[in-house]
Amino acid sequence: MPQWTAPSTPVVDRARTAHRDNVGTEPTHIASAPATWSLIGEHIDHFGGIAIMGLAALRAAVAVSPRDDGTVSVRCLSTDGSTTEDFITLEKVSALAAEQQPSVDSEGQPVVPPAPNGGLAARLGGIVHTMINRQLLSRETAGADITVVTDIPDNAGLGAAAAIDIATALALLGGADEPFDAPLRARLAEVCSQAVGTFACFPALRARHSAALRGTGESITIIDYADGSVTQAPHAVNQDLVAYALAVPGDFDCEETIADIRTRERFIDDACHAFGTESLRLLPDAPQRVLDWLAAVHKIHGPENQPTIAQATAWLTFYAEETQRAQGVARALRSRRGTELFPLLTQSQSALATVYGFDSAEKLAQLASARGASAARSAHAGTSTAVIAYVPSTKATNFAADLAEDGLLVVPLNAGAPAVTES
């Protein structure tokens, strides 16, 4: 399989043409957003850890125009030639939102809502619904026609869905007075993550939304969830180092691990609620105190719907150690000590597979390292088999050609630009 390349025609132009052909009118607004890739930290945001993200040149574009029948209609065209069409009513979206509201049982114990399982229309309709309720869209909004054109492969761990989220939100927002205002972009990122968490079958990786809106092509975005700060560091990829996303073509069945991710996030949320803290990273002596709390929960309410002590110990160990590794990566980037990155990324990949229990990308990471990568780490363990490989520039051409010849999807991670409203 050859390296992944986007068509020469800009994705924004193709979105405009596709919307005109599909809907029959010119789009009201068009926006685009970049692919995002994770250096480290995508599993520790709920803990209050640090996520470090880069932007890639591949983009998704979204064109929108209003409807008056209460329906959100979505048509998505991918570069591989596939087309997805879906629709949902705003009334149905409101009903789905109501299903996700917390409640308690007769004994006063929280009732866990069913996991959302919405498709593309529910996901983007959820963004419309959330923007209305967060006063970013008028309450007179009565639906939308949404046309998506994406050059981002959806199985390469590059945040194809997150790019569509952001482009949709920006296009719906339209001609905002301050489209590049940092508080507004932070708010939009929060809206997208909230909508995805409420309506979509895949859990939101909040760092992708933040990086796509607030990152830059020339630097790496560091998001610290202990205090919500978003800062920039010198880019990991330079004239001496090339990065690739590597993936096994075809769909990956991640239904079971998606459920595992939700279980772990719910465990963290329950522990934060029990201790009255916004994140476990802010809780002194968190691992031992949380384990003592969990033991008490088991004793009083039984172990049903709760992790075992061994599981919780492994998770908390991973969260704490991965946060330390992410801090080390941030220091190495800021001090431009690139060689210090590789041991940390290799350790992180090993911990993902052995401590955290997500080994979907372990074999591909080992193959990339054997073929000459300085380090290879999962793009998002549990949700894909893809890895991000870091290769010395002197070996990059042969590395990419060899793995493409093996039948892998090889995506060069050239520097991207943040999301923008195009018209």
234 class by beta-carbon count within 10 Å (0-12 exposed, 13-18 middle, 19+ buried): middle
pLDDT computed for residue 330 by the predictor: 96
144 within a domain of the structure (yes/no) = yes
6 within a domain of the structure (yes/no) = no
284 token code pair: 């002194």
pLDDT computed for residue 418 by the predictor: 95
176 within a domain of the structure (yes/no) = yes
Q: What range defines the domain where residue 128 resides?
A: 11-422
pLDDT computed for residue 176 by the predictor: 57
CA distance 211 to 418: 8
| Count of domains for the chain | 1
CATH code where residue 375 lies: 3.30.230.10
191 within a domain of the structure (yes/no) = yes
pLDDT computed for residue 245 by the predictor: 96
37 within a domain of the structure (yes/no) = yes
378 within a domain of the structure (yes/no) = yes
User: How does the average pLDDT of the chain come out, rounded?
Assistant: 92
pLDDT computed for residue 207 by the predictor: 95
157 within a domain of the structure (yes/no) = yes
5 within a domain of the structure (yes/no) = no
State pTM to two decimals: 0.94
User: Which residues, in sequence order, are bridge partners of residue 86?
Assistant: 74
pLDDT computed for residue 246 by the predictor: 96
The secondary structure of the chain, three-state, reads CCCCCCCCCCHHHHHHHHHHHHHCCCCCEEEEEEEEEEEECCCCCCCCCEEEEEEEEEEEEEEEEECCCCEEEEEEEECCCCEEEEEEEHHHHHHHHHHCCCEECCCCCEECCCCCCECHHHHHHHHHHHHHHCCCCCCCCCEEEEEEEECCCCCCCCCHHHHHHHHHHHHHHCCCCCCCCHHHHHHHHHHHHHHHHHHECCCCCHHHHHHHHHCCCCEEEEEECCCCEEEEEECCCECCEEEEEEECCCCCCCHHHHHHHHHHHHHHHHHHHHHCCCCHHHCCCHHHHHHHHHHHHHHHHCCCCCCCHHHHHHHHHHHHHHHHHHHHHHHHHHCCCHHHHHHHHHHHHHHHHHCCCCCCCHHHHHHHHHCCCCEEEECCECCECCEEEEEEHHHHHHHHHHHHHCCCEEEECCECCCCEECC
Neighbours of 148 (CB within 10 A): 27
Nearby residues of 382 by Cβ (< 8 Å), 6 or more positions away: 43, 254, 257, 258, 260, 261, 358, 360
CA distance 157 to 245: 8
pLDDT computed for residue 106 by the predictor: 67
Q: In which residue ranges of the chain is pLDDT below 50?
A: none
